[in-house]
A and B are shown apart, each in its own frame.
Chain A
């Protein structure tokens, strides 16, 4: 009888344990779902924040673009067309040779104005950047700088090229534009080196100049908040597309900016 009651006790204990296991499994699933819901909520919130930042950045880019257009039209195309107008106004009907010279000058000036307009249109056109890809768009941009004859421009591509996402390419292109703009405005450089490095798990973009540089002692732990708005914006834009932004500079020796973008998904080869 004792042996029997022992066996029955074992059966009951085993059953109770199994019931606890069953309840435990169900509780685990419910807890997991709760955490999953929390995770989905956080992910959604992050997405909303990201989209908001993208929108803000787009607006900022738009603002910058309008400023660029205004400046370009005023400083370049406007000047050229003013010269053409001056040529026409000062034409003397009694001096056919001078008229011919002025017409030739005006023709050249108008051709330059058309070319400038075309360049401006291309460098601002988002579709062109998305269609041609980052490498081609950068090549075109650097060609324009090379044509000024002020800078020695080098452009290198290493590794098997692949396309990044449209958003990423566009933002990277705008960052490079901003960097080039800064070099032309402040760096007093004579040489600009741009390098794209396509590795399977990492994309790297380097922009190096031999300009006057600046003091980077205020930058600690990749914190750009103490620097100007332009650098801060570039840093924030890079952050938005999960790109690491590193700026190093030595006074009188130049500045180097390195953007690194880790690649997680399989890339579309060019």
Chain B
């Protein structure tokens, strides 16, 4: 039961935590970019809950495929993250790199997941998105490094969010990259391995979502106590 929860429901639950973090962040700052991310996380929670329900049905013998939901989710992620990083980065050259990178990811998604549709989950395009997210996160951290000021960066919500992103997307890169390869290789009785790997990815996502929510609460507490 626990393994099913971790494998199928921890992912939408983590997105829900992210949505709560952004709801709180939006309530205190009223920034459009936070509103966009809040909507994105709510949609992602809905999409992935539906995907988890399809996965449960599949395990109980009902025909179903949730790949299209993941394709939509990753496509949406590429678009929203492109907007978000463009908003938080100050350097024009970095913004250009982000736009080009995420545009390539989006085009790749459209071609591989919506034009050449495959019956199984195409993890290469997702890995491409993960890699782009890592590059974008590193760019943001680089910008923080070169623009270091007297302000305590621990009170910067974006730093915590991006730190979470870098842990999840860098840590999960090999898992997502090898997913298609393993799908091809595994026999039906070995499919639990895939589920376990996916669970690792979900635990990582859960940890980073908790970091993000806690950081918001901690920053609010620190600001109030100052």
User: In chain A between 1 and 29, which residues have their CB closer than 8 angstroms to a CB of chain B?
Assistant: 1, 4, 7-8, 11-12, 14-16, 18-19, 21-23, 25-26, 29
A22 near B185: Cβ-Cβ < 8 Å: no
Tell whether A201 is near chain B: CB-to-CB under 8 Å. Answer: no
Chain A residues positioned under 8 Å from B141 (CB to CB):
25-26, 29
A contact patch SS: helix
Query: Given contacts A15-B172, A15-B175, are A32 and B145 in contact (CB under 8 A)?
Result: yes
Encoded as 1 (CB less than 8 Å from any A CB) or 0, chain B from 171 to 202 comes to: 11111001000100110001001000100100
A4 near B145: Cβ-Cβ < 8 Å: no
Tell whether A30 is near chain B: CB-to-CB under 8 Å. Answer: yes
Chain A residues positioned under 8 Å from B39 (CB to CB):
none
Choose, from B51-59, B95-103, B146-154, the stretch at the interface: B146-154
Q: How large is the interface on B (under 10, 10 to 19, 20 to 34, 35 or more residues)?
A: 20 to 34
A4 near B170: Cβ-Cβ < 8 Å: no
By beta carbon, the residue of chain A nearest B193 is: A8
Encoded as 1 (CB less than 8 Å from any B CB) or 0, chain A from 211 to 227 comes to: 00000000000000000
Complex Cα distance, B113 from A222, in Å, reads 76
Q: Smallest distance from the beta carbon of B131 to chain A beta carbons, Å?
A: 11
Complex Cα distance, B174 from A8, in Å, reads 10
How many chain A residues touch B (CB < 8 A): the figure is 23
Tell whether B166 is near chain A: CB-to-CB under 8 Å. Answer: yes
A12 near B148: Cβ-Cβ < 8 Å: no
Chain B residues positioned under 8 Å from A4 (CB to CB):
185-186, 190, 193
Having A7-B182, A15-B173, A22-B163, one finds 8 other A-B pairs with CB under 8 Å, namely A8-B197, A14-B174, A15-B174, A18-B170, A26-B141, A29-B144, A29-B153, A40-B150
Spell out A's residues near B (CB within 8 Å): 1, 4, 7-8, 11-12, 14-16, 18-19, 21-23, 25-26, 29-30, 32-33, 36-37, 40
